[in-house]
Structure 1
């Protein structure tokens, strides 16, 4: 058996506990730990509040009573205790945030396995796709097949926490399914499928970075922007002069007697210090807002930079496993993210982390009191910005490469979870080149990946070879559209390198074209029929564009096409559209409940006809008849129709 010919027997690494059971166990453990941490944090909050209030009371007592030094000392001690408590509470808060992310990750993983679309938060996922650019053709296919959007294949597959990973995965899903790329990705996904522990930690870290105020695309954009400080070089000169002048004034104010100076000199030093404070306050509030925005983008917090470093460092985990270490795609990503000693993503983020430590003084409760005098008298933010722009000068040309590589790794990590969670899904095999007379899509027990295992009905489906179409007939609600989407969704999965929802699947390098959800546009004066013609024109144009390419086949999926005209003209029009597509060596399937189409000699001559049917169960004791569907695909034209029976069942019969 070749590497790409693995079915259910080779579909996933052996696991002592199934993915869903593992996720549920981890969710229970993380939830219990989070509840315990919240209780401890509540105790800290009460202690902090008590210390703060008592310190205020003692300061008031010392100021308005004769208690003297003892009251001042006690007030100062209480305030120091409040400060120490706040510092000690900060690691607990960080642990709470980490635990909260683990809960969210496990919650999402459980919801994925159970196809619980309400629990899969689409709002947060949609934000990660901001800026995603697809062609109109790709948007149409994505809408028709539920590739991207609420309750979509993307929502099922994606565990991306950052925008670069989410967009990379969306592009893979909506792009052509090419054998070369798919095979490379499949090999990597097989390797990553075994690393469940590492993946869960990776998802949690990615979620932390993605939830920050800065984002990878913002950092990349900043790396190409002109530096802010060189045009305001006087700020650095003033920061140096201000710091030296402040030090001199402090020395004079504190040691004026030791230097034999007068009290007036000390008072003058204090006045200068107040002046420096005022000037630097104005500079901070009126001029340094752009610098603070840069800090928010590049190093939203010291932790976010370290989290980026840890995320990039995740590629080093791959060296621990002999299979992942040898995989060409993962080896290439590891080189860019880890192994280049000067310009790898890890080395770059490590050096940025040193700058971020300096910048984090203003964001931490433990160091804010240190930051205040540094900024007030030495413009600390200007000094941090100078270091930051020096870092950018050395790493500018590599930053975009880091995040491109990371986006690919994050997409592969998402797809690896799909492999781990569905051990009975298979990796497809590929046929290359149109010179093969049997260019076709063939599958055994093909299913709809967005349905649960309990509700999914699988069928053996073949589309092609070239020169033929699959004509799917059947009654309303019998499963025709679901079958078309099953083909399209599995082609999209195959293109990403992921396993597909089938026991076996063989296909050529393929680009999808669809006409399933067609909408009129009253604002633009486009009727439903004209909108459908435009969509079909796009499908034919795509087939023509691929006709001369030996490496890519057009696979079309058309659902109930040309409904907006009479039956006679519809048969003629459908046959003409299909002649165009077949003439371009495209393969595809169309569905219809109009049995007259299946009777048309020209359509019948180029079609392989199958059908879905319903079963009518007579109601007992005057009850209404019941209609059931088994969603099994059978050969030949549908022998039944159900429109009038459905009318009767809903109470609109004669």
Structure 2
């Protein structure tokens, strides 16, 4: 079996060939269109001068038909070229991820950043150099929101997590499906929320409520045009002109209501077509896992009509309504056909039959994008494991666990467990030894585990628990909040969660660093005793070596670990290996000296 890197290189090679081939075909069709048009002009002039008017008409119709067919074919080739270009870019970004160059990807998920969240800010879940930027393959608003949900919400039921794991294992080798799913929606606006469309589709309101009026408006353009044409034939132009004036004024009567509806669909035909293509792709696949099969069934409408056909029809109606952006075109079409009214009539009929189904269709697309995104982790990291998530264990056990965002060639993995009644693991060590990174290693892998994704470990066992962190704490001048008080607020949230009955797992980095050493020590001991007595578990990293004495006082609840370093006259090296027991090393003076600062 080829490695993921080989697969991506092979796909880039194949798509490059296809890209060049399609570009040549586009150039050929452009030349053929020019030749057809030129021949039509030359032949028509010759036939006209020869007096063969009937032949000229036949030739013109045939040439125009061929020319129009070539235009449509040309457009389809451009769409194919765009799709292949998207696939090339997708595979390039997959290689970026393998080569640790993913932090230049555009979508960082910054819209989901919430500095007040229990853990996402501290664990780099969203933003630059984040988990979202590393793995996201969703383009629709619904897909990106689904990823944000599983990365930031409380853990789902264990059964849901397990179903998601099975679905990801099935999707992982389906590279064609996953990348086509991503490529079809690649050009859509990532932040385009569909709520304006959904609000109208789900609303019971209707602009044309009277059935008799609706029927009259449907047939009105036919009546007007036949009558007006007859009036002109019988040389009564005044009547024809009056009828067209009435037709145009009729569009003005409901203009406010019409524009309100059309504004809800402002230039949305492209995204509706995207949804249609994505649903068609999903429905063309046969899935084995229960979750994927259930999601696929969401696309069967109440009238047993395929969702992709139904959405394509709505997209056509929305595209037709865009005539209003052409001043002359809007005037002529409303004059002859009451165009805006006809569009809204058909949109409201579509809404009556399918309006309440669209939200679940879009949500299902988002779920597929989320699952496809997470399945990439399994495909690209065969040595990572699906974790055992069980509500009965009440323990965290990891073998060879590492930080997912660190490149495999630089990543250092460790074994770790918190079980047997131990509530708090105290991690000591000197500066830059790896304490904070290890806290994030545990936290990020727990986030992935609760999302149903593989984790960066040989084996990993955990239980559903709400994460809370206190790591990146800053003062807030505008709110008059010091860093010390900001930490107190974070800790209070953890205590409140415990008091409310939540199962809590905490990660605390250098607790109360914003105060003096004595108060920091006393405060940290007081907080850890409150948290451990309340049933919470977690890790704390600290430079306060006296906190290691907690294990001597209560060895059942506290356990010591440490990171160390090797100091020479010219260098400091770190092995980033977690070891049992407290740290007994210090490196501040050595680092000051190596930085070139003289020590007196």
- TM-score exceeds 0.5: yes
Cα drift, residue 643 of structure 1: 1.4
- After TM superposition, list the pairs within 5 Å mapping 1:329-478 onto structure 2: 329-338=291-300, 342=302, 347-361=306-320, 375-433=334-392, 439-478=394-433
RMSD: 4.0
SS in 2 for 1:558: strand
Structure 2: stretches of 5+ with no match in the other structure: none
Cα drift, residue 432 of structure 1: 2.6
Partner of 2:227: 248
Alpha-carbon displacement from aligned partner over 1:44-65 (angstroms, at most 9, x marks no partner) = 6688799999999xxxx9xxxx
Q: 1:533 aligns with which of 476, 488, 510?
A: 488
SS in 2 for 1:230: coil
Alpha-carbon displacement from aligned partner over 1:576-597 (angstroms, at most 9, x marks no partner) = 1001111111111100123233
- After TM superposition, list the pairs within 5 Å mapping 1:514-593 onto structure 2: 514-546=469-501, 553-593=503-543
Q: 2:584 aligns with which of 632, 636, 639?
A: 639
d(CA) in 2 for partners of 1:47, 1:275? 44
TM-score by length of 2: 0.85
Check the 8 A contact 1:598/1:604 in 2, yes or no. Answer: no
Q: 1:608 aligns with which of 534, 548, 559?
A: 559
Check the 8 A contact 1:448/1:486 in 2, yes or no. Answer: yes
Partner of 1:313: 283
Deviates more, 1:581-590 or 1:214-223: 214-223
Q: 1:188 aligns with which of 167, 187, 194?
A: 167
Change (3 A) 1:87 1:349: closer
Check the 8 A contact 2:269/2:316 in 1, yes or no. Answer: no
Check the 8 A contact 2:484/2:514 in 1, yes or no. Answer: yes
SS in 1 for 2:426: strand
Cα drift, residue 110 of structure 1: 2.4
d(CA) in 2 for partners of 1:516, 1:305? 40
d(CA) in 2 for partners of 1:487, 1:43? 57
- After TM superposition, list the pairs within 5 Å mapping 1:616-627 onto structure 2: 616-618=567-569, 625-627=570-572
Query: Is 1:512–2:467 an aligned residue pair?
Result: yes
Alpha-carbon displacement from aligned partner over 1:152-192 (angstroms, at most 9, x marks no partner) = 11222321222222212211111233533221211222222
- After TM superposition, list the pairs within 5 Å mapping 1:216-365 onto structure 2: 216-230=194-208, 237=216, 240-253=219-232, 256=233, 261=234, 264-265=235-236, 267-268=237-238, 271-272=241-242, 275=245, 279=249, 288-296=258-266, 299-300=269-270, 303-304=273-274, 306-313=276-283, 316-318=285-287, 324=288, 327-338=289-300, 342=302, 347-361=306-320
Change (3 A) 1:161 1:601: closer
SS in 2 for 1:107: helix
d(CA) in 2 for partners of 1:148, 1:334? 29
Cα drift, residue 285 of structure 1: 8.1
d(CA) in 2 for partners of 1:286, 1:528? 54
d(CA) in 2 for partners of 1:533, 1:238? 67
d(CA) in 2 for partners of 1:292, 1:631? 60
Deviates more, 1:574-583 or 1:87-96: 87-96
Change (3 A) 1:212 1:628: closer
Cα drift, residue 283 of structure 1: 7.2
Change (3 A) 1:359 1:497: closer
Check the 8 A contact 1:362/1:371 in 2, yes or no. Answer: no
Cα drift, residue 607 of structure 1: 2.5
Alpha-carbon displacement from aligned partner over 1:497-532 (angstroms, at most 9, x marks no partner) = 111110111112221111011111110100111111
SS in 2 for 1:145: coil
Partner of 1:5: none
Cα drift, residue 89 of structure 1: 2.1
Cα drift, residue 211 of structure 1: 4.0
Which has the bigger relative contact order, CA under 8 A and spacing at least 6? 1
Change (3 A) 1:180 1:358: closer
Query: Is 1:150–2:150 an aligned residue pair?
Result: no
d(CA) in 2 for partners of 1:108, 1:273? 60
Structure 1: stretches of 5+ with no match in the other structure: 1-15, 319-323, 548-552, 619-624
d(CA) in 2 for partners of 1:411, 1:281? 44
Change (3 A) 1:398 1:85: closer
Query: Is 1:106–2:91 an aligned residue pair?
Result: yes
Change (3 A) 1:294 1:271: same
Cα drift, residue 280 of structure 1: 7.1
Check the 8 A contact 1:162/1:206 in 2, yes or no. Answer: yes
Check the 8 A contact 1:280/1:376 in 2, yes or no. Answer: no
Check the 8 A contact 1:239/1:378 in 2, yes or no. Answer: no
Change (3 A) 1:301 1:150: closer
Alpha-carbon displacement from aligned partner over 1:92-138 (angstroms, at most 9, x marks no partner) = 22112222222232233223333323332126x556x5xx9x7x76x
Check the 8 A contact 2:389/2:464 in 1, yes or no. Answer: yes
Partner of 2:596: 651
d(CA) in 1 for partners of 2:478, 2:535? 37
Check the 8 A contact 2:228/2:239 in 1, yes or no. Answer: yes
Change (3 A) 1:488 1:390: same
Query: Is 1:202–2:181 an aligned residue pair?
Result: yes
Check the 8 A contact 2:134/2:405 in 1, yes or no. Answer: yes
Cα drift, residue 85 of structure 1: 5.2
Check the 8 A contact 2:127/2:133 in 1, yes or no. Answer: yes
Change (3 A) 1:474 1:121: same
Check the 8 A contact 1:227/1:389 in 2, yes or no. Answer: no
d(CA) in 1 for partners of 2:50, 2:242? 34
Matched residue pairs, number? 585
SS in 2 for 1:512: strand
d(CA) in 1 for partners of 2:473, 2:200? 41
d(CA) in 2 for partners of 1:351, 1:169? 27
